[in-house]
Amino acid sequence: MSIIIQEDMTVQKKLEVLSDAAKYDVACTSSGVDRSGGGSSGIGNSVACGICHTFSADGRCISLLKILMTNECIFDCKYCFNRASNDVLRATFTPEEICSLTIEFYRRNYIEGLFLSSGVLKTPDHTMELMCKTLRMLREVYQFNGYIHCKAVPGADPVLVEMTGWYADRMSVNLELPTADSLRMLAPNKTRKNILRPMKQIQIGRIENKGKAAFNRLPFIEEESALVLPDNYKNNIAAPASVLQDVQDIIAADSIKSSFGVIKAPSINRGFVPAGQSTQMIIGATPESDYQIMSVAEALYQKFDLKRVFYSAYISINEDNSLPAVNQGPPLLREHRLYQADWLLRFYGFQAAELLSESRPNFNVLMDPKCNWAIGHLEQFPVEVNKADYYTLLRVPGIGVKSAQRIVKARKTAILSFEDLKKMGVVLKRAIYFITCAGRMMYPVKIEENYITSMLLRVKEKLPFDMDASTAYKQLSLFDDMNFTAANAQIGSFL
């Protein structure tokens, strides 16, 4: 197929093309950095509360100017809208154009920061160099102090990755697909080794820059002086045999030697990737089970200290015999379950092998992973909230991190009742089947699997069932594609 390139394209047209092309990248949340702009000579800041976390209906962050540097690409990944063989309108920003757009949108209060990704233009080095130049101009010429999330291009020179890391708040390297076999099948130009190498470089750079890992997988216990991992939380990974090689590859990559430190940090030193790194993988394009996906994610968290793993539901946009035929839109419910389980891995002390197994490789579509686990382990319930340790409380459906911390703190001075738990934010309609207060349950409850399952299923869960799958991945546009101009004119005629 031919590639359409318009040499005389306006900046507005480029923005229209490249902001729309970026909608398939979901790894763009902006938390994790806390840098104030007060007292500096620049503009903007990255204090967490100063960044507007606005999400569209499909959960994608829209508070950042989310664009591609270019949608030209030398690679031909079969699932990608911007692949080389697709006949689509192509455009490329110059670094000056991106800087101008970012500053002007920021001054109009449209955005709080920048999310910059890219296709691979000419070579990975050339693309990474353009992105690095853009970030350096924003920081040093325009004195932009706001949040910047930038992709690292696999295969690029480590020096360019390191230099970019000094200007970005967060960097991410897309894992693309859960296993190396899937990568070979759908993205033959990419290798798992090239993807893991910049991940390791960023991790080492952050450790060397800060002297310690910045993110812990489990939350701090207020009554302890330091993070204490539960006894059953070991730094080992029980992966299914089908992805054992992939997990071993990730573990082996932990020993990759990094070239970090070969360049001098810029004078405007905000730290090296202070908001951490993330990755994303497409789910549903290849036949991996939820257990396989979560095992790979668990290995990434443990070996690369990732801030987040994003799961992008496969969207059928290309016709290819290697791709699945999806007639009902992207698998959003599956994506939702994976995010729930991912939360359990990072903040609740669960391991993938506890949630799933070879005989039960996929999550229950009717029930969230935590409830499903609790029903399968009724021998561990009911839990006495006035005595149970912090990590046992975290495993009770209806008790979250905040409410568990409040319980641990409050019970030092009083014996807690169900009314107290409700005030602390415990969701009693879920928790009452699994807890006692002062030795008593809230109501007479049968600790029996079928009974509790039927009762929990009566509680309506917020699921994306009402989403229109055909438009769920649509990103809000910077342009008037909803025809607000005409609507405003109509309203004005009545005033």
**Residue type for position 19:** S
Q: What CA–CA distance (Å, rounded) separates 258 from 260?
A: 5
- pTM comes to 0.78
Rounded to an integer, what is the distance from CA 484 to the centroid of its chain? Answer: 31
Backbone angles phi, psi at 436, to 5 degrees: -130, 155
Classify strands 4-5 and 89-90 as parallel, antiparallel or unpaired: parallel
Can you read off the two tokens belonging to residue 402? 């905040």
- 495 residues of the chain, pLDDT tens digit each: 445 555 678 988 898 888 888 777 765 554 445 556 555 566 665 544 333 455 444 444 557 888 899 999 999 999 999 999 999 999 999 999 999 999 998 898 888 889 999 999 999 999 999 999 999 999 999 999 888 999 999 999 999 999 999 999 899 999 999 999 999 999 998 998 899 999 988 988 888 887 654 444 444 344 433 334 444 444 555 666 666 777 777 767 666 666 666 677 888 778 899 888 999 999 989 999 999 999 999 999 988 889 889 998 888 888 888 888 766 667 888 999 999 999 999 999 999 999 999 999 999 988 999 999 999 999 999 999 999 999 999 999 999 999 999 999 999 999 999 999 999 999 999 999 999 999 999 988 888 888 898 888 876 554 444 444 333 334 444 454 444 455 445 434 433
What span, in angstroms and rounded, lies between the C-alpha atoms of 433 and 446? Answer: 8
342 in Cβ contact with 368 (< 8 Å): no
Assess contact for 346 and 316: CB atoms under 8 A: no
3-state helix, strand, coil in the chain (%, to 5): 40, 10, 50
Task: Tell how far CA 264 is from the center of its chain.
Answer: 30
Task: Look at residues 401, 402, 350 and name the one whose alpha carbon lies nearest to residue 372.
Answer: 350
CA angle 303, 309, 297 (to 5 degrees): 50
Q: Which residue has the tokens 């975290």?
A: 394
8-state DSSP, 437: B
Q: Map residue 411 onto helix, strand or coil.
A: coil
- Strands (DSSP E) found in 358-409: 383-384
- pLDDT for position 17: 87
| Contact (Cβ atoms closer than 8 angstroms) between residue 19 and residue 67 | yes
Q: Which of these, 60, 17, 82, 55, lies nearest to 312 by C-alpha position?
A: 60
Distance CA 80, CA 315 (A): 9
Amino acid identity of residue 122, one-letter, is K
Q: What is the DSSP string of 77-124?
A: -TT-TT-TTS--EE-B--HHHHHHHHHHHHHTTS-SEEEEE----SSH
Phi first, then psi: give them for residue 279, nearest 5 degrees: -150, 170
Nearest CA to 150 among 137, 457, 412?
137
DSSP string, 286-331: S---HHHHHHHHHHHHHHH--SEEEEEE----S--TTS---SS---
pLDDT of residue 495: 37
State the Cα–Cα distance between residues 130 and 67, nearest whole angstrom. 14
Between strands 383-384 and 308-313, the pairing is unpaired
Contact 363, 337 (CB under 8 A): yes
d(CA 337, CA 343) in angstroms, rounded, equals 10
